[in-house]
Structure 1
């Protein structure tokens, strides 16, 4: 599969049921160090409330999504269906987010999520500081956008 096979489009309300499942599944698969017993499908709704959501499709099937809090150019979520990981989906989603933001983009990456850290560092993000959230220690990461 090539990056050309990944189509990025705007979120549609009809995507919600599948994206709820994807969000829950991807967190359970990827965040194994956390207690997931209280996680629910509806968590997607609160995690993306009032955010810009873009969806990645491959051959008409949803493979991932990203959500942005546009007022702060903050990448809040980027999740790929475990079945489609390591196939360019996350890179395509990230690339689609850049033109939607201005100045410097920011995100928080859990320190336990070493794979995500490597991904963002590979894509030009820099660790700016660290902190603690309800999910544990995180790095605040920034990426200066070139189109400003």
Structure 2
């Protein structure tokens, strides 16, 4: 597996992966209104890194560089666990110039467990659009 910068030909596959991943992860939401184009809006102005193996895209992470903020980290939900999320998270952390941050939805227990396993700490709770989240910081360097 390699982690590499996004290329424009990746867009169609990442759109589909983003849609599938969100529908699989957000079981408490009504997701039928989600669209392929949501990927474009969600990653606009962000640095995107993709995980690829043998020409197949496995997942991606997008980072808002100005704030060392991970905005999206999604893995193909049809894949068995194989360290893709960990590799993408590590790659993102390597680009941080200071402590990294992200927001994780309170109801997303699987994602919270993943970030805790990697040393991320909850700093404060918050609410956006009626949905509770935790602001998390990366491990200290």
TM-score range, shorter chain: over 0.9
Measure the CA separation in 2 of the matches of 1:41 and 1:66. 17
Aligned CA-pair RMSD: 1.1
Q: Is the 8 A contact 2:121 2:139 kept in 1?
A: no
Structure 1 runs not aligned, ≥5 long: 1-5
Structure 2 runs not aligned, ≥5 long: none
Q: Give the corresponding residue for 1:7.
A: 2
- 1:19 equivalent to 2:28? Answer no
How far is the alpha carbon of 1:133 from its aligned partner?
1.6
What is the correspondence of 1:110-125 to structure 2 with a 5 Å cutoff?
A: 110-125=105-120
What is the correspondence of 1:1-148 to structure 2 with a 5 Å cutoff?
A: 6-134=1-129, 136-146=131-141
SS of the equivalent of 2:24 reads helix
Q: Deviations over 1:64-120 (max 9, x none)?
A: 000000000000000000122521000000011112111110000001100100100
How far is the alpha carbon of 1:37 from its aligned partner?
2.1
Runs of 4+ in 1 over 3 A off after TM superposition: none
How far is the alpha carbon of 1:145 from its aligned partner?
4.6
